[in-house]
Amino acid sequence: MSRPAASADVFVAIADPTRRALLDRLRLGEQPVKELAEPFAMSLPAISQHLQVLCEAGLVEMRKAGRQRLYRLNPEPLKQISNWIVHYEQFWQEKLDALGDYLEENQCSET
Protein backbone atom coordinates (compact mmCIF):
# COMPACT_ATOMS: atom_id res chain seq x y z
CA MET A 1 0.00 0.00 0.00
CA SER A 2 1.57 3.29 -1.02
CA ARG A 3 1.55 6.28 1.25
CA PRO A 4 0.53 9.65 -0.21
CA ALA A 5 3.19 12.32 -0.52
CA ALA A 6 3.63 14.30 2.68
CA SER A 7 2.37 17.47 1.03
CA ALA A 8 -0.88 15.68 0.11
CA ASP A 9 -1.39 14.42 3.68
CA VAL A 10 -4.27 16.21 5.41
CA PHE A 11 -2.63 15.75 8.82
CA VAL A 12 0.61 17.35 7.62
CA ALA A 13 -1.33 20.16 5.97
CA ILE A 14 -3.14 21.16 9.16
CA ALA A 15 -0.09 20.69 11.40
CA ASP A 16 1.07 24.22 10.65
CA PRO A 17 -0.70 27.02 12.57
CA THR A 18 -0.55 29.39 9.58
CA ARG A 19 -2.34 26.85 7.39
CA ARG A 20 -4.98 26.27 10.08
CA ALA A 21 -5.50 30.04 10.26
CA LEU A 22 -5.85 30.19 6.47
CA LEU A 23 -8.51 27.46 6.63
CA ASP A 24 -10.34 29.44 9.31
CA ARG A 25 -10.32 32.54 7.11
CA LEU A 26 -11.59 30.53 4.14
CA ARG A 27 -14.62 29.41 6.16
CA LEU A 28 -15.90 32.93 5.51
CA GLY A 29 -15.94 32.26 1.78
CA GLU A 30 -13.82 32.46 -1.33
CA GLN A 31 -10.98 34.99 -1.16
CA PRO A 32 -8.02 36.19 -3.22
CA VAL A 33 -4.53 35.49 -1.91
CA LYS A 34 -3.89 39.15 -1.16
CA GLU A 35 -6.95 39.31 1.12
CA LEU A 36 -6.01 36.02 2.79
CA ALA A 37 -2.49 37.30 3.47
CA GLU A 38 -3.55 40.57 5.18
CA PRO A 39 -3.38 39.45 8.84
CA PHE A 40 -0.13 37.53 8.45
CA ALA A 41 3.35 38.98 8.91
CA MET A 42 4.77 37.13 5.92
CA SER A 43 5.24 37.65 2.22
CA LEU A 44 2.69 36.79 -0.45
CA PRO A 45 4.98 34.04 -1.83
CA ALA A 46 5.09 32.46 1.65
CA ILE A 47 1.29 32.53 1.89
CA SER A 48 1.11 31.08 -1.61
CA GLN A 49 3.33 28.19 -0.53
CA HIS A 50 1.02 27.46 2.40
CA LEU A 51 -1.98 27.60 0.07
CA GLN A 52 -0.22 25.20 -2.31
CA VAL A 53 0.18 22.64 0.50
CA LEU A 54 -3.51 23.03 1.35
CA CYS A 55 -4.43 22.60 -2.32
CA GLU A 56 -2.30 19.45 -2.65
CA ALA A 57 -4.06 18.01 0.41
CA GLY A 58 -7.42 18.81 -1.20
CA LEU A 59 -8.44 21.19 1.59
CA VAL A 60 -8.45 24.26 -0.63
CA GLU A 61 -9.46 24.75 -4.24
CA MET A 62 -8.17 27.53 -6.47
CA ARG A 63 -9.79 29.10 -9.50
CA LYS A 64 -8.63 31.91 -11.72
CA ALA A 65 -10.81 34.94 -12.34
CA GLY A 66 -8.96 37.22 -14.71
CA ARG A 67 -5.57 37.86 -13.15
CA GLN A 68 -6.70 36.91 -9.65
CA ARG A 69 -6.46 33.53 -8.02
CA LEU A 70 -9.40 32.86 -5.75
CA TYR A 71 -9.23 30.25 -3.02
CA ARG A 72 -12.08 28.45 -1.30
CA LEU A 73 -12.34 25.84 1.41
CA ASN A 74 -13.07 22.20 0.60
CA PRO A 75 -13.90 20.68 4.01
CA GLU A 76 -14.40 17.12 2.71
CA PRO A 77 -10.84 15.88 3.52
CA LEU A 78 -11.32 17.01 7.13
CA LYS A 79 -13.61 14.00 7.58
CA GLN A 80 -10.46 11.88 7.64
CA ILE A 81 -9.31 13.76 10.74
CA SER A 82 -12.74 13.64 12.32
CA ASN A 83 -12.90 9.87 11.81
CA TRP A 84 -9.50 9.48 13.48
CA ILE A 85 -10.43 11.68 16.45
CA VAL A 86 -13.69 9.79 17.15
CA HIS A 87 -11.73 6.87 18.62
CA TYR A 88 -10.03 9.17 21.12
CA GLU A 89 -13.23 10.93 22.13
CA GLN A 90 -14.56 7.70 23.65
CA PHE A 91 -11.23 7.06 25.40
CA TRP A 92 -11.17 10.52 26.98
CA GLN A 93 -14.84 10.42 27.91
CA GLU A 94 -14.24 7.19 29.84
CA LYS A 95 -11.24 8.74 31.60
CA LEU A 96 -13.19 11.87 32.54
CA ASP A 97 -16.12 9.79 33.79
CA ALA A 98 -13.73 7.77 35.96
CA LEU A 99 -12.17 10.98 37.30
CA GLY A 100 -15.62 12.35 38.12
CA ASP A 101 -16.51 9.14 39.97
CA TYR A 102 -13.23 9.26 41.90
CA LEU A 103 -13.74 12.88 42.90
CA GLU A 104 -17.29 12.21 44.07
CA GLU A 105 -16.13 9.26 46.17
CA ASN A 106 -13.22 11.13 47.71
CA GLN A 107 -14.74 14.51 48.43
CA CYS A 108 -13.31 16.47 51.31
CA SER A 109 -15.97 17.36 53.80
CA GLU A 110 -15.67 20.82 55.34
CA THR A 111 -16.57 20.97 59.01
E strands in the chain = 31-32, 60-65, 68-73
> What CATH number has the domain spanning 6-73?
1.10.10.10
Contact 73, 67 (CB under 8 A): no
Contact 71, 32 (CB under 8 A): yes
- Confidence bin at 4 (pLDDT 50/70/90): very low
> Taking the domains of the chain in order of start, what are their residue ranges?
6-73
> 62-107, pLDDT tens digit by residue?
999 999 999 999 999 999 899 889 888 888 999 999 999 899 888 8
Nearest Cα residue to 30 out of 81, 71, 62, 90: 71
Cβ atoms within 10 Å, residue 52? 13
**Considering the chain, what is the average pLDDT of its residues?**
89
Contact 54, 16 (CB under 8 A): no
The yes-or-no verdict on residue 25 having pLDDT over 60 is yes
C-alpha 25: how far from its chain's center?
11
